[in-house]
Structure 1
Amino acid sequence: MEWDFLIIGGGIAGASVGAALADHGSVALWEAEDAFGYHASGRSAALFEESYGLPPVVALNRASRADHAANGWMTPRGLMLLAVAGQEDTFDHDLTHMAMEPLSLDEARAMVPILSPDVTRAALHVEAFDLDTDAMIQTGLRAVGQARAGRRVTTITRIAGGWRVQAGPDEATARQIVNAAGPWADRIAAMAGVRPLGLTPLRRSMARIRAPGGHDVARWPMLMGAGETWYAKPDAGALIVSPAEEAPSDPVDAFADDMTLAEGMARYQAAVTPEVTRPISTWAGLRTFTPDRCLALGGSEVEGFWWCAGQGGYGFQTAPAAARLLADLIAGRAPELDTATVAALDPGRLR
């Protein structure tokens, strides 16, 4: 069967674009791993924070919020910013940039009773939400005509009227390709004879620890150190703690770096009183950025090859609006976003 669209990549980028394109033709989606959402999408902090990112990213966040709410993907969480001595200037910058409300230390400790006496400043943004990442991916996958895992692309060939794509013995032809391959997106482009964008995968390590001091953490906000030097997020009765590092990596199945985790745990420890215990588990994910840290959404110099890449740490929260933008561009419709934002997301800016 010849498809109108073949999407390469089965994380949130590919799944959401698949759903957006389903009304415009037949859609197939291929994922290299044996499970959808295995890499970055399966290892996300899964938070919607509207003010997180550069202006074009924030525009996508804002345009996505109604979709998240309408689909029931958002659950109230809140985000608390913390500083210890010496971090006040960084704290003030974050406070303004993220439009947060200052808290007294007594107010902060009433919400999170484990805060250390070393914490000197606190602020809160109530309008931060957990996202149901599995529901988001499954909604997208259900909308496409064919979703296949375990299809690692080996060759892409330009043919009359479209493309022939092979994954080992499996073959598909499509009029157009959407490259949503995350850390591997530049490699997919090179296979198709498309100029890569200079994407950089950055590793981020995470650890799950037991709820500190036996507290019920379910209603705690996500905690973040000034300058995003660490974060801690309640998850299924435990805490996920990350040093929030950005270590350049090849496109791989990432693993946590023990030394980096230890350094991040020390920064977290400075803000809380219970002693950090041995992690229950550790893992890492790759957050893939373009050189200017904005997404790449749009066409390439080769007709019929489209980019949906460079989501960085913003993939889930931007997914609805990012997918609509790309579908509008493919369909030749005027996007809902302003022209400056569309231009800032156009992959052509990187060529």
Structure 2
Amino acid sequence: MTSADVIVIGGGIAGISAAAALSEEMSVVVLEAEARLGYHATGRSAAIFIRNYGNATLRALNAASAPFFEAPGEIADGPLLSPRGEMLVATEEEMPTLSAYAAGAEGLEHLSPAQAVELVPILRPERICAAVIEWDAQDIDVDLMMAGYGRCLKANGGRIETAAAVRGLRRHGGLWQVDTPRGIYRAPLIVNAAGAWAGEVARLAAACPIRLIPLRRSAALLPAPAGYDVTQWPLFASAAESWYAKPQSGKLMISPADEDPVAPQDAWADDMVLAEGLHRYEQAVTTPVTRVETSWAGLRTFTADRSPVVGFDPGTEGFFWLAGQGGYGVQTAPALARLTAALCTATAPQLAGDVVRALAPQRLLPAA
């Protein structure tokens, strides 16, 4: 039996970053069900930091995370970001969506159809009514980020146990007992960072029934269009988010931006959903899709209001929620890790009070 001050369930970017922050003041054990860290949502992320992505709460988290990405300290020797940019293009029908996005955004530049095509030459100018670009959107080195957090955790005496799926949870005498194939672990505090499985972990702990919805998102890797060097292109997407394309290793990753509810699982791409998304992408560009090199899918897990749930469970002692990050987990991890450490050590959070309240589990419980 292994004892610690806190057990973090889940070895994705949320769990590892929070564990590293907690390990500065507490003894920490991370339990990951898979054989390696970051296997599910973290390893299948589009890996881009977009400051204007998400609702107002998420944009506050993005802003709070930005200084870390630019100067990650002991996590990495230099910035975790590299230039990319994100451009949204709108058909006439998508103009209200683009206008609403731009109204709540900062740092956007409006582009003409000709300027959009200059940046991404395969776009069809006749289909573009308007476009905007966030030049400050940047690629994230997720592998370096994960490795840095893991290194700091271990340097502080923390442990990472893989292939350690949680089979049972029981609280007795002020301690949680966590049963796994690797043995039994005990701690007074559990941080539930289990991603798509966070709801199942909460049920094992008899915590409050907060609804979490895993949504599948598919992607495919295509060869670069013949005659084009895509490496300097921005991520480009429809304003209605019916598809997006991102340069990756000299090729193009295309996603239909699907959000199909599924049970927690090792997700795979649905061929029909992928084909429909690639068709929508083809309608926006001049080059046909001739070959898909590989495809995959990941799960983006949301709460009802699409903001993460971060804080102590109102009805279960020693149970802390760190879940529901949706498609924003990597870029909000630095801010949420610091918030988790602050709340778990009863110190003042760096985030504004209204943001902390907008993340609290209480907001998602049925009215009395």
Give the match for residue 26 of structure 1. 27
- Establish whether residue 252 from structure 1 lines up as the match of residue 265 from structure 2: yes
Q: Who is 1:35 aligned against?
A: 36
SS at match of 2:190: strand
Structure 2 match to 1:212: 225
Q: 2:98 aligns with which of 83, 88, 91?
A: 91
Partner of 1:312: 326
Question: d(CA) in 2 for partners of 1:118 and 1:17?
Answer: 47
1:161 Cα offset (Å): 2.8
Provide the residue aligned with 1:142 in structure 2: 151
Deviation at 1:105, TM superposition (A): 2.2
Tell me if the contact between 2:163 and 2:182 (Cα under 8 Å) persists in the aligned partners.
Answer: no
Deviation string for 1:270-323 (max 9, x for gaps)? 111111122100110000001111101110121211010000011011000111
Equivalence for 1:16 = 17
Q: 8 Å contact 1:18–1:143 — kept in the other structure?
A: no
Structure 1 contact 175–304 (Cα < 8 Å) conserved = yes
Identify the residue that residue 75 of structure 2 maps to in structure 1. Answer: none
Out of 206-215 and 286-295, give the one that drifted further.
206-215
Aligned to 2:360: 346
1:169, distance to aligned residue in structure 2 (A) = 5.0
Counterparts of 1:169 and 1:261, CA distance in 2 = 38
Matches for 1:4-83 after TM superposition, within 5 Å: 4-71=5-72, 72-83=79-90
User: What CA distance in whole angstroms lies between the structure 2 residues aligned with 1:98 and 1:170?
Assistant: 48
- Paired residues of 2:164 and 2:182 also in contact (CA < 8 A): no
Aligned match of 1:102 in 80, 101, 110?
110
1:198 matched residue in structure 2: 211
> CA shift at 1:69, angstroms?
0.7
Deviates more, 1:110-119 or 1:323-332: 110-119
- Per-residue deviation at 1:23? 1.1
Partner of 1:221: 234
In 1: Cα distance, 2:25 partner to 2:84 partner: 36
**What do the CA deviations read for 1:212-246 (whole angstroms, capped 9, x no partner)?**
12411111000010111110001111111001011
> Once structures 1 and 2 are overlaid, which stretch shifts more, 115-124 or 234-243?
115-124
> Structure 2: which amino acid aligns with 1:122?
A
The CA distance in 2 between the partners of 1:273 and 1:98, in whole Å, is 30
Matched, 1:325 2:339: yes
Within 2, Cα distance between the matches of 1:118 and 1:265?
19
Per the alignment, in what secondary structure is the counterpart of residue 335 of structure 1? coil
**Structure 1: 5+ residue runs without aligned partners?**
none
Q: Secondary structure at the match of 1:29?
A: strand
**TM-score w.r.t. structure 1 length?**
0.97
Deviation larger for 50-59 or 88-97: 88-97
C-alpha contact (below 8 Å) 2:163/2:181 kept by paired residues? no
Could you say which residue in structure 2 is the equivalent of 1:159?
172
SS in 2 for 1:23: coil
Secondary structure in 2 matching 1:250 = coil
What is the identity, as a one-letter code, of the residue corresponding to 2:117? Answer: R
Deviation of 1:93 after TM superposition, in Å, equals: 2.3
| Runs of 4+ residues over 3 Å off in structure 1 | none
Give the aligned residue type for 1:13: A
The 1-side partners of 2:227 and 2:6 are apart by 50
Show the counterpart of 1:123: 132
* Structure 2 counterpart of 1:132, from 131, 141, 157: 141
Give the share of equivalent positions with the same residue, in percent.
47
Does 90-99 or 226-235 show the bigger shift?
A: 90-99
Q: Distance in 2 between matches of 1:346 and 1:122?
A: 36
Does the CA-based 8 Å contact 1:10-1:31 persist in structure 2?
A: yes
| Contact 1:95 1:101 (C-alpha < 8 Å) held by counterparts | no
Match of 2:263, as an amino acid? D
- What RMSD, in angstroms, separates the aligned Cα atoms of the two structures? 1.2
Aligned residues: 351
Matched, 1:113 2:121: yes
Deviates more, 1:57-66 or 1:137-146: 137-146
* Residue 56 of structure 1, CA deviation: 1.0
Contact 1:118 1:271 in 2 (8 A): no
Q: Does 1:242 align with 2:255?
A: yes
User: Taking structure 2 as the reference length, what is the TM-score of the superposition?
Assistant: 0.93
CA distance in 2, matches of 1:17, 1:103: 39
> Once the two structures are superposed, what CA deviation does each residue of 1:23-63 show, in whole Å capped at 9, x if it has no partner?
11111101101111011111111111111111111111100
Whole-angstrom CA distance in 2 between matches of 1:75 and 1:239: 17
Deviation per CA, 1:53-102: give whole Å up to 9, x if none.
Answer: 11111111100000011021111110011123432222222333334211
State the secondary structure of the residue aligned to 1:91.
helix
User: In 1, Cα distance between the equivalents of 2:139 and 2:30?
Assistant: 27
